Homo-oligomer: A and B are copies of this chain.
């Protein structure tokens, strides 16, 4: 990796590195969800969710489809889903989620 690649990679990792945004990715792995479904499930404010979704979209992780007054969010890229699955699998062994 050259420095530019490391910077781009860091940006994507930063976009993932937040509890709410991780929750969004996790929920979207199940399939499309509306913004309301997301913030209700993840117990955060509507405003918070809107801002976090913006970050995920800007990094190309999430795509949004409009339908009437609602917006449906989905994971943008199947490669990213593979990345996330892989990451999640290894993190479970790396972090021993105990207590």
Establish whether residues A26 and B1, one from each chain, have CB atoms under 8 Å apart when the complex forms: yes
CB of A40 within 8 Å of the partner chain = no
* Chain B residues near A64 (CB-CB < 8 A): none
- For residue A23, which residue of chain B has the nearest CB? B6
Binds B, one of A13-21, A31-39, A66-74: A13-21
Most buried by B among A4, A5, A18, A23: A5
A94-B83 in contact given A16-B13, A19-B7, A23-B6 (Cβ < 8 Å): yes
A14–B83 Cα distance when bound, in Å, is 16
Which A residues are within 8 Å of any B CB, using their own CB?
1, 3-14, 16-19, 22-23, 26, 60, 77, 79-80, 82-83, 86-88, 90-91, 93-95, 97, 99
